[in-house]
Copies of this chain bind each other. A is one copy, B any other.
Amino acid sequence: MKGLQDYYPEDFAHCYGCGRENHHGHQIKTYWDGDETVTHYLPKEYHIALPGFVYGGLLASIIDCHGTGSGSLAIARERNIELTEFNAPRCVTASLKVDYHKPTPIGVELEIRGTIREIKGKKVIVDAKVFANGVMTVSGQIIVIEVPEGFAK
Contacts and interface: CB of A to CB of B under 8 A. Distances in A.
Interface of A: 11-12, 14-17, 22-25, 44, 46-52, 55-58, 60-62, 64-65, 92-100, 147, 151-152
A142 to B, nearest CB: 10
28 contacts: A11-B51, A14-B48, A14-B50, A15-B50, A15-B55, A16-B46, A16-B55, A16-B58, A17-B57, A22-B46, A23-B46, A24-B44, A25-B46, A51-B152, A52-B152, A55-B61, A56-B96, A57-B57, A57-B58, A57-B62, A57-B65, A60-B96, A60-B98, A93-B100, A95-B97, A95-B98, A95-B99, A96-B97
Contacts of A65: 57
